[in-house]
Amino acid sequence: MQGGTDLTPENKAVTAATERFPCSCQAVSGVLSRIGDKWSVLVVMLLSDGPKRFSELKRAIGSISQRMLTLTLRGLERDGLVTRTVTPSIPPRVDYALTELGHSLCVPVRSIGDWAFANHAHIEAAQRAYDGREAASPAT
């Protein structure tokens, strides 16, 4: 064996990680990309208080386009996080609500939001320091 990581089955540290994360984490990459999307997080948090109409969500988010909100809601519905209920009326009423699975996402999303809020100033300071170092260093 040359230098590097020993990937033989006898190396329990490596094989145990592979058992916990099958297919090199590919099994969860789609889920993480959905819940890591900024629009999805905002929609989930807005729906945590109860069902909302499309226009309510759009107004609350503000900076999202109608198309992006539609795509986000469809993706969340496809993933089983949101339900879409159409009430026949003129015009038709469409309500969006979190499923049980969607509600279970609120706790970790809220925790990440709280962490981001608490550390926002630290992150901005680190970005300014990094940008200052980059600006001061000679171009390579």
Nearest in space to 69 (alpha carbons), one of 99, 101, 91, 47: 47
85 φ, ψ to 5°? -115, 120
**pTM given for the model:** 0.70
Per-residue pLDDT of the chain (140 residues; tens, 9 = 90+): 455 555 555 555 545 555 655 565 776 777 777 777 889 999 999 999 999 999 999 999 999 999 999 999 999 999 999 999 999 999 888 999 999 999 999 999 889 888 988 999 999 999 999 999 888 887 65
3-state secondary structure 44-88: HHHHCCCCEEHHHHHHHHCCCCHHHHHHHHHHHHHCCCEEEEEEC
